Amino acid sequence: MNALPLYVSILFFCVFTSCKKKDETKPDKDVTTGLHVKDGQYLADKCGNKIVLHGVNMGSVYAVNFGLKELEEIEKTGANTVRIILTQNYQDWQNGGKLTIVTGAKIEPIITSCLAKGMIPVLELHDFTGTTNVTNDLPKAIQWWTKPDVKSVLLKYQQSIIVNIANEPDNGAASDVTYRDANLTAIKNLRDAGYTCPIMIDAPYYGKDYVFFLYQGKALIDADPLHNLLFSVHAYWPTNGAFENYSDVKIRDNFKALKQSGLPIVLGELAAADIQNGLAYNINYRLLMKLCQENQFGYLAWWWGFYNNPDANNQLSMTNDGLYSGLQGAGFVIAYDDVNSISHTSKRACK
């Protein structure tokens, strides 16, 4: 039998080997080598252990030295995570409050400090809180995350961090479709930029509208080529608020619906009160903590408090001097003095 012509042989080789069409449904990266969302349902560490986030929010951009002292104190709670509040610019209190750009070099010590203490850094951008135009402003957040100096640092640690695209980037003005599409574009742009870490998305309407995830959560996960998303609800659900009331029955129903969704849910902000028009309206935070534990949802308390910048403290600060020994009231309860507190429930990721 005569041999096939050379060009025919090459054609067959291409068709059956290197010229095969790429399967676009398969991720390009193996995210299981670091923090990852398993089966679109829960966060897991690189060892495959389920990680339920229990920690606090910490205002790095309002703290002296970006809160490195505060991180030492937060570690004493046993927290397995800290949500780090960032802005594109900050007032450098070590240099007279000069307005200064937040750079990757400024962020890196926070990341390394958290990781050295066994706490997962959740990095969030705070500039677009309560925006009236998420379609316009979420791309600005992505521009910041993909700045060369910021991106180069974060990609070094992305097996161990979570990126929270933007804090509460909607004041209730966006429709579900608008909010979904803005986040779909943001997810795609972050993945195209090389981010493979878990991406956290806040609910619309200042993070409170958990129902959005019930209807749009699966579409967001399916659209992410890595299926590596976390959904954050900010549970400012006061018992008798100025605008809304949340009975214990209503809160239980909310949790039931979230649990039945099977989605990877975390309460990205849990507080003792909702501040409305300058007044504090009490939240049944103990019930929130209990239901988080029963449903294996994580929670991050709002917020820690400041050591060298006490003027930044307010009525929701867990400690007014930034020290573990200064924990007071609800802050003490959330951090330590409850069966569902951080100290009693937090388990850290494997190293």
Identity of residue 329: G
What is the C-alpha radius of gyration for the chain, rounded to an integer number of angstroms?
22
- Non-local CB neighbours of 137 within 8 Å, separated by 6+ positions: 128, 131, 166, 169
* pLDDT tens track, the chain, 351 positions: 444 444 444 444 443 444 434 433 344 578 999 999 999 999 999 999 999 999 999 999 999 999 999 999 999 999 999 999 999 999 998 888 899 999 999 999 999 999 999 999 999 999 999 999 999 999 999 999 999 999 999 999 999 999 999 999 999 999 999 999 999 999 999 999 999 999 999 999 999 999 999 999 999 999 999 999 999 999 999 999 888 899 999 999 999 999 999 999 999 999 999 998 889 999 999 999 999 999 999 999 999 999 998 889 999 999 999 999 999 999 999 999 999 999 999 999 998
What's residue 2's pLDDT?
44
Cβ-based neighbour number of residue 64 at 10 Å? 17
Cβ-based neighbour number of residue 338 at 10 Å? 19
What's residue 28's pLDDT?
56
What letter would DSSP give residue 121?
E
**Which tokens in the block code for residue 308?**
């060298």
**Which tokens in the block code for residue 136?**
């316009």
CA atoms within 13 A on the CB side of 294: 11
pTM: 0.92
Backbone angles phi, psi at 182, to 5 degrees: -65, -40
**Which tokens in the block code for residue 207?**
């993070």
Sketch out the chain's domains with CATH numbers: 32-345 (3.20.20.80)
**Pairwise CA distance, residues 219 & 176, whole Å:** 12
- Non-local CB neighbours of 228 within 8 Å, separated by 6+ positions: 31, 36, 37, 196, 197, 198, 199
